[in-house]
Amino acid sequence: MKSFVSLGLLVLALSFCNLSERLSKLKGGNSINQNSTTNSTTNSSNTSTTAETVEKPKLTAAQQAISDGGQSVKWDDQGISWTLPVNWKKMNVGKTMFNYSSPDLAFLIANISVMPDNFPSEASLKATYESALQQLKNGNYENVRYLEIDDVKGVEFVETMPEEKSSPRRHQWIAFRNYLGQNQQLNIMLSTKGSDFEKHRDDFPAVLYSMKISK
Superfamily of domain 54-213: Mog1/PsbP, alpha/beta/alpha sandwich (3.40.1000.10)
Top mean-pLDDT range of 29-33, 39-43, 147-151:
147-151
pLDDT digits (tens, 9 = 90+) for 60-69: 999 999 999 9
Going by pLDDT thresholds of 50, 70 and 90, the confidence category of residue 51 is low
pLDDT digits (tens, 9 = 90+) for 157-186: 999 999 999 999 999 999 999 999 999 999
pTM for this structure? 0.76
In the DSSP assignment, the letter for residue 163 is S
Question: Domain ranges in the chain?
Answer: 1-48, 54-213
Query: Could you give the CA distance from residue 213 to residue 123 in angstroms, rounded to a whole number?
Result: 21
Q: Which positions ≥6 away from 148 have C-beta within 8 Å?
A: 54, 55, 56, 154
Contact status, residue 200 vs residue 87, Cβ threshold 8 Å? no
